[in-house]
Amino acid sequence: MKLSFRWYGESDPVKLKYIRQIPNMRSVVTAVYDVPVGEVWSRESIAKLKEDVENAGLIFDIVESVPVHEDIKLGKPTRDKYIENYQENIRRLSEAGVKCICYNFMPVFDWTRTQLDKELEDGSTALVYYKDQLEKMDPLNGELALPGWDSSYKKEDLKALFEDYSKIDKEALWGNLKYFLEKIIPVAEQSDIVMAIHPDDPPFDIFGLPRIITGEVNIDRFLKLVDSPSNGLTICTGSLGCTKSNDIYKMIDKYSAQGRIHFMHVRNVKILDDGSFEESAHFSACGSLDIVKIMEILHKNKFEGYLRPDHGRMIWGETGRPGYGLYDRALGASYITGIWEALGKLK
């Protein structure tokens, strides 16, 4: 596995030099943040990212995310222009040495939580999803802004988007995804890049918006849309694993054996009785997932893709971007590295 760590660019309070100090750290997962969704990333911005990462002694070869414009997801006539931009971004990232691109196909909102600073028993804070809190949220009314969401949406834009999505169903979304993949996967193949779709987080419909990358049956369907190794997966254990209806171990075994997992997001999550969930420390006993079992499956299938610790709690007084502090993610990285080393030695 290639251990990596997400970094939000120069404005990230977590410095590259600190990421470099995490044992076994290899790659920085980042993106160009100065360009609106759907536009072409400038070669200068890409080169600057590469230079910053390499100057810190780390590797720039994986990007998360190149976001997909809503017009592509909605299948609007303007999608072709945005798909051409997307193809150009793939080519430019390839020129800079990138080998893997993570993206998602979630309508409107990226990952959704109902609270970002829930205090856990040990005094740390974590991101949580409580059903009763969600029922009180209305994205179209109220000053609702969460870091997983694009804050550039104005209320009117959101209303228009919800209106657009009310006119398409899941099958239409599947069709729009297929249209997109058929245009970008050949470019990825020519560019020696693998695409890795992130599952929907959480993996069920939210606010009436359709979600399709949600579990095994749908991921099987996704992989067949364009049957190429370049059309692959990011398996996010906390996203797919936050509902008991997904057998996360079976999915990791199956898709890693098929060589279709290019990127792993490894984190733990505690599933509550009513289907709500809390993000927890990476250590297995802190949540509902068996992290050793996950790493064992990857090791058995000789996983050579990228892997990063995912959201961490806020601990030791750290403040910053919820889910993306340094300390708890660094603990997660070390824990994962420890398991991986042991799996290699205790044969």
Q: Which residue stretch of 1-9, 97-105, 136-144, 309-317 sits at the interface with Mn ion (rule: CB under 5 A)? A: 309-317
Asked if the bond preceding 202 is cis, omega within 30° of 0, the reply is: yes
- Tell me whether residue 236 is one of the annotated catalytic residues: yes
**Interface residue with Mn ion, options 100, 187, 236, 307 (CB under 5 A):** 236
Which helix H or strand E contains 85, and what residues bound it? helix 79-95
Strand partners, 115: 128
Q: Which residue stretch of 48-56, 71-79, 166-174, 305-313 sits at the interface with Mn ion (rule: CB under 5 A)? A: 305-313
Catalytic residue from among 82, 130, 165, 198: 198
234 neighbors 195 (Cβ within 8 angstroms): no
Closest approach of Mn ion to the CB of residue 282, in Å: 13
Identify residue 39 by its one-letter amino acid code: E
Q: State the Cα–Cα distance between residues 196 and 237, nearest whole angstrom.
A: 14
Q: Which is nearer to Mn ion, 265 or 313 (CB)?
A: 265
Closest approach of Mn ion to the CB of residue 40, in Å: 25
Q: Which is nearer to Mn ion, 69 or 265 (CB)?
A: 265
**Interface residue with Mn ion, options 265, 282, 308, 329 (CB under 5 A):** 265
Closest approach of Mn ion to the CB of residue 317, in Å: 25
Short-list 15, 40, 29, 96, CA closest to 309: 29
User: Could you tell me whether strands 306-309 and 277-280 are parallel, antiparallel, or unpaired per DSSP bridges?
Assistant: unpaired
Short-list 152, 148, 35, CA closest to 82: 35
Phi, psi of 2 (to 5 degrees): -105, 105
Q: Which is nearer to Mn ion, 71 or 278 (CB)?
A: 278
Q: Which residue stretch of 79-87, 169-177, 243-251, 258-266 sits at the interface with Mn ion (rule: CB under 5 A)? A: 258-266
| 93 is an interface residue for Mn ion by CB under 5 A | no
Closest approach of Mn ion to the CB of residue 286, in Å: 17
Catalytic residue from among 310, 327, 328, 335: 310
Q: Which is nearer to Mn ion, 32 or 102 (CB)?
A: 102
Q: Which residue stretch of 132-140, 152-160, 308-316, 337-345 sits at the interface with Mn ion (rule: CB under 5 A)? A: 308-316
Closest approach of Mn ion to the CB of residue 171, in Å: 26
Closest approach of Mn ion to the CB of residue 309, in Å: 10
- Tell me whether residue 198 is one of the annotated catalytic residues: yes
Beta strands in 52-164 (DSSP E): 59-64, 100-104, 115-119, 125-129
Short-list 198, 193, 207, 296, CA closest to 252: 296
Q: With CB under 5 A, what is the number of residues at the site for Mn ion?
A: 3
56: alpha, beta or left, given left = phi > 0 and alpha = psi -120 to 50?
Answer: alpha
Catalytic residue from among 71, 201, 311, 327: 311
Other beta carbons less than 10 A from residue 172's beta carbon: 15
Q: Which residue stretch of 92-100, 218-226, 232-240, 298-306 sits at the interface with Mn ion (rule: CB under 5 A)? A: 232-240
Closest approach of Mn ion to the CB of residue 159, in Å: 28
- Tell me whether residue 100 is one of the annotated catalytic residues: no
Sign of the CA dihedral 212, 229, 32, 8? Answer: positive
Q: Which residue has the tokens 């999505």?
A: 165
Phi, psi of 197 (to 5 degrees): -70, 135
Q: Which position's Cβ is nearest Mn ion?
A: 236
- Tell me whether residue 262 is one of the annotated catalytic residues: no
Identify residue 98 by its one-letter amino acid code: V
Catalytic residue from among 69, 262, 265, 282: 265
Q: How far is CA 178 from CA 84, 91, 184, 222, in A?
A: 15, 20, 10, 8
223-227-231-234 Cα dihedral, nearest 10 degrees: 30
- Tell me whether residue 69 is one of the annotated catalytic residues: no
Q: Which is nearer to Mn ion, 139 or 203 (CB)?
A: 203
**Which positions touch Mn ion (CB under 5 A)?**
236, 265, 310
Positions marked active-site: 198, 236, 265, 310-311, 324
